[in-house]
Each structure stands twice: as structure tokens, then as C-alpha cells.
């Protein structure tokens, strides 16, 4: 009797292990979220598998016990209506399956079943982990926040976007990679909000936290945290040789003082959002890029990729005197001559978004002036730390320089 029982247990374990191993190698696997009224029998019928196979594949001990919202793995269901295709994402250094599941907002037991790996097993860097490839937008991530959408990853120097929909008008506070970010209500929907997620061009790739909080109607502070991946950007290197008379502008004390002056401006977040829609080019389309954003720079034999040796804007080569226009509505936060950046204009577009225009030959606006799309703000020049006439166009969010060209199309 005992021997028969042991044999039965061994066979069952073998079946489960075999299924789990098969799941890891199985490309044709999907997932299904249990809906109200579902039974294991109806789900099995829908996807053309047996109840026994479905139960064993998901390690269900009671075939009559299903919960609404429970995720089931469906063998052979990839591409089937109602199921979600699978994808592979590489593990990061120090990952366990549990931390991997937390970062991607997935149920740990789902990944355990799909990959045949225990939650506590240490993963090797780059190990491919199978997970649902297009998970549905999570419903009710917490409390009054009904849905939240985030990017799968954000490359260095780029900007991501998080959108939430709430049950009622809600004041949400948030941080992204420890930096406070601002949620803005959609113009036509008081229950829809968005926030931008800037990534520094030299940010080390890895997983970083997005944290949202709000005060519930009972006065309690509710907090939700999830991980987002920062990936490597594709940036070139550039050697710049300065004329002798401009070499003094590389002195750390000169650049640092000027940076602190500007940083005090562009780390603010105005309550009004003046900018809407995509940006327009600040200079004519006939003037091509001479140095793109994010380029790792070496000034006169210095080091690459230090805190100050990447290109924080987009350069357009143009003759002196070419007009530069505002790419979006805003208020001029600074219009003044500086040492390193030459004659500059900084525009506040609201909610922590600023654009800057360096090396101007002339400034055509004054601090505090409101500008609209297409208004002339200055003329191309080569003042400050510059080797030729051009426009340096910069875009910062909460003080972080990001690729401004992304805003021309999104």
C-alpha cells in the first residue's frame, strides 16, 4: 500500500516536473485570466486541452477552485483569442525569480510554472526568462487607481510616460528613480492623468522604481511601487578640439557655477502646463544635425563619459543670424548672456519641462515673456563654448537632460 502510494507520488511529481521543464522550452504557451463564471472545464474546452492537462500544467490541487483574476498557463494556446503570447526577457545581475516577477508586475507563481524554476533560485545575468509577452493593462493596481500603463523599458537619455485612470478625481504624488515627478490631468478627461519619466543619458542600465501614493477617503496613505527597466542607449563618441582662447571655459569652477544657476531654474515644476501636442523644430528643416544628443564627448584630450562629457542637447549647423523659434508655448524663464553657453534663452513649458537655446548671436525675448509656437526667441551664433555657428537645443525634465528630438514625433 505504502509502496503503491510512493510510486503514485513519484509519477505525479515526474509529470509536474516534466510539464514545468516542457513549459520552459515551450514557445507555444499562452496565459488566460479567469473571468466570472469560468470553470476549469469551460476554459479547457475553449482552448482544446483536457482538464487533467490544464490542472497538471498549473499545479492545481483542486480543479473546482478557481478565483476571478487568477492567471492560468495554457499549453498550445499562443495566439489564441483570450490568451497572451509569451516573450523572453533577460535576467539582471542578482535577480531571483521573485524579484524578477516583482519588477515586471507579474504573479511569482506564474513565472515559477512557466519557467520551472523556484522563486528563490539565483538567476545568472542574461538568463532568458519566459513571461507573458503582452500582459493586459492591470485593473485596479491599487484602490482608486483603476488602470496604469507604463513602458516596458526606457533607453538612456529618453523619456517614458506613465498613464493612470482613476475612479474619482485624485491627487497623486510620485517618484521615479527617487526623483519627484508630476502627474498632469488630461485636458478632456478629469479621471485620466499622465506623467513623464526622464532617464539621464549616463544612467547605469538596470531596474529602477516608480512609486505612486495618494490619500484614501479614510485618510490613509496608500502607496504602490513597481520596477521599470532602463536600457543602454546607442550613442557615438566625439573628439572636440577647442581654440586656445576658449579653453579657459573648461575650468570646472566656471562650468559648475553656471550649471547651478540654470539648475535652480529647470528643477522647478510650474503648476500650469502650457505645452500641448508634439513640438515643432526650433530651426528650419534645411539645417541638419551636426552633433546629436547623448554623444560621449572628449574636449581637447579629456575623458569620455564623465558627468560633463556627454552632449546634453541637439546641435543644428546654421549660419549666423538664422532665426530660432519656440517649438511650443511657454514662458521665458531666462534670457541672458552666460560664459560657457553664451547668449541663452530658457523656456518653461510647464510641469517641469524646459527647453534651452545656447550660443545665440542675439536674444529676441526677455525673461517673463510668454511665447507661442513659432515666435522668434533668438538668432544663431557661436558665443560661449562653441567652435562654429550653430544652435544647441536642449530639453530638460525635472532638471534631467533628455533627447529633444523624441518630442518632435511623440
Q: What single string gives the DSSP state of each residue in 267-313?
A: T---SS----SPPPPSS-TTS-EEE-TT-EEEETT--SSSTT-B--S
Grid-cell match 575623458, residue found = 303
Phi then psi dihedrals of residue 317, to 5 deg = -75, 130
Q: What single string gives the DSSP state of each residue in 59-79?
A: T-S-TT---TT-EEEEET-TT
Q: Among 114, 132, 150, which residue terminates a domain?
A: 132
Classify residue 277: in a domain, yes or no: yes
Domain tally, the chain: 3
Q: Are residues 345 and 273 in the same domain?
A: yes
Position 252 scores a pLDDT of 62
- CATH code, domain carrying 197: 2.60.40.2470
Q: Are residues 255 and 342 in the same domain?
A: yes
Element (H, E) at 33: strand 29-33
Q: Are residues 379 and 253 in the same domain?
A: yes
Classify residue 47: in a domain, yes or no: yes
Residues whose CB is less than 8 angstroms from the CB of residue 229 and which lie 6 or more positions away in sequence, other chains included: 103, 152, 153, 154, 205, 206, 207, 208
Residues whose CB is less than 8 angstroms from the CB of residue 322 and which lie 6 or more positions away in sequence, other chains included: 283, 284, 287, 379, 380, 391
Q: Among 73, 103, 132, which residue terminates a domain?
A: 132
Classify residue 16: in a domain, yes or no: no
Q: Are residues 379 and 244 in the same domain?
A: yes
- CATH code, domain carrying 103: 3.10.350.10
Q: Are residues 308 and 397 in the same domain?
A: yes
CA atoms within 13 A on the CB side of 114: 30
Q: Are residues 277 and 321 in the same domain?
A: yes
Phi/psi-derived region of residue 264, left when phi > 0, alpha when psi is between -120 and 50, beta in every other case: alpha
Q: What share of the chain is helix, strand, coil (3-state, %, to 5)?
A: 20, 35, 45
Q: Are residues 356 and 403 in the same domain?
A: yes
Q: Among 183, 199, 231, which residue terminates a domain?
A: 231
Classify residue 1: in a domain, yes or no: no
pLDDT tens digits in sequence order for the chain, 410 residues long: 433 333 333 333 333 333 333 333 333 455 666 776 678 887 777 777 788 877 877 778 787 888 766 777 776 644 443 444 445 566 777 777 777 777 666 666 667 766 667 777 777 776 777 765 544 334 445 788 888 888 878 989 999 999 999 999 999 999 999 999 999 998 888 899 999 999 999 888 888 889 999 998 888 888 888 888 888 887 877 666 555 555 555 566 667 888 899 999 999 999 999 988 889 999 999 999 998 898 876 655 444 334 457 888 999 999 999 999 999 999 999 999 999 899 999 999 999 999 999 999 999 999 999 999 999 999 999 999 888 999 999 999 999 999 999 999 87
Q: Are residues 281 and 320 in the same domain?
A: yes
Phi then psi dihedrals of residue 398, to 5 deg = 55, 30
Contact 156, 294 (CB under 8 A): yes
Residue-range definition of the domain harbouring residue 212: 139-231
Classify residue 279: in a domain, yes or no: yes
Classify residue 87: in a domain, yes or no: yes
- CATH code, domain carrying 250: 2.70.70.10
Classify residue 12: in a domain, yes or no: no
As to burial, measured by CB atoms within 10 angstroms (0-12 exposed, 13-18 middle, 19+ buried), residue 153 is middle
Q: Are residues 329 and 257 in the same domain?
A: yes
Position 213 scores a pLDDT of 92
134: three-class secondary structure by DSSP: coil
Q: Are residues 217 and 275 in the same domain?
A: no
Classify residue 254: in a domain, yes or no: yes
Position 249 scores a pLDDT of 53
Q: Are residues 122 and 144 in the same domain?
A: no
User: pTM of the predicted model, to two decimals?
Assistant: 0.66
Q: Are residues 122 and 184 in the same domain?
A: no
Contact 324, 379 (CB under 8 A): yes
Amino acid at each position: 500500500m505504502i509502496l503503491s502510494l510512493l510510486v503514485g507520488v513519484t509519477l505525479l511529481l515526474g509529470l509536474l516536473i516534466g510539464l514545468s521543464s516542457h513549459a520552459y522550452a515551450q514557445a507555444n504557451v499562452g496565459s488566460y485570466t479567469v473571468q466570472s463564471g469560468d470553470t476549469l472545464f469551460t476554459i479547457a474546452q475553449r482552448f482544446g486541452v483536457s482538464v487533467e492537462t490544464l490542472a497538471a500544467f498549473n499545479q492545481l490541487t483542486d480543479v473546482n477552485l478557481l478565483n476571478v483574476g487568477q492567471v492560468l498557463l495554457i499549453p498550445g494556446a499562443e495566439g489564441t483569442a483570450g490568451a497572451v503570447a509569451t516573450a523572453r526577457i533577460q535576467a539582471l545581475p542578482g535577480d531571483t525569480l521573485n524579484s524578477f516577477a516583482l519588477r515586471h508586475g507579474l504573479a511569482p507563481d506564474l513565472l515559477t510554472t512557466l519557467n520551472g524554476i523556484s522563486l528563490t533560485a539565483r538567476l545568472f545575468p542574461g538568463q532568458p526568462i519566459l513571461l507573458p509577452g503582452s500582459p493586459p493593462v492591470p485593473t485596479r493596481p491599487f484602490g482608486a487607481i483603476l488602470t496604469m500603463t507604463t513602458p516596458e523599458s526606457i533607453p538612456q537619455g529618453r523619456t517614458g510616460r506613465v498613464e493612470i485612470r482613476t475612479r474619482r478625481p485624485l491627487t497623486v504624488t510620485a517618484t521615479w528613480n527617487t526623483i519627484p515627478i508630476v502627474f498632469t490631468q488630461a485636458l478632456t478627461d478629469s479621471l485620466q492623468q499622465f506623467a513623464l519619466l526622464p532617464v539621464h543619458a549616463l544612467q547605469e542600465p538596470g531596474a529602477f522604481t516608480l512609486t505612486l501614493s495618494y490619500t484614501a477617503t479614510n485618510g490613509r496613505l496608500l502607496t504602490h511601487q513597481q520596477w521599470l527597466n532602463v536600457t543602454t542607449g546607442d550613442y557615438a563618441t566625439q573628439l572636440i578640439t577647442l581654440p586656445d582662447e576658449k579653453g579657459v571655459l573648461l575650468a570646472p569652477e566656471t562650468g559648475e557655477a553656471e550649471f547651478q544657476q540654470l539648475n535652480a531654474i529647470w528643477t522647478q515644476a510650474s503648476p500650469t502646463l502650457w505645452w500641448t501636442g508634439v513640438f515643432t523644430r526650433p530651426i528650419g528643416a534645411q539645417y541638419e544635425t551636426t552633433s546629436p544628443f547623448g554623444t560621449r564627448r572628449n574636449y581637447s584630450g579629456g575623458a569620455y563619459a564623465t558627468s560633463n562629457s556627454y552632449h546634453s542637447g541637439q546641435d543644428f549647423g546654421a549660419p549666423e543670424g538664422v532665426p530660432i523659434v519656440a517649438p511650443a508655448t511657454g514662458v521665458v524663464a531666462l534670457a541672458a548672456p552666460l560664459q560657457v553657453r553664451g547668449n541663452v534663452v530658457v523656456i518653461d513649458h510647464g510641469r517641469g519641462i524646459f527647453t534651452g537655446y545656447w550660443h545665440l548671436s542675439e536674444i529676441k525675448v526677455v525673461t517673463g515673456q510668454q511665447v507661442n509656437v513659432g515666435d522668434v526667441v533668438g538668432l544663431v551664433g557661436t558665443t560661449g563654448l562653441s567652435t562654429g555657428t550653430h544652435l544647441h537645443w536642449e530639453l530638460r525634465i525635472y532638471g534631467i537632460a533628455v533627447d529633444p528630438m523624441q518630442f518632435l514625433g511623440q
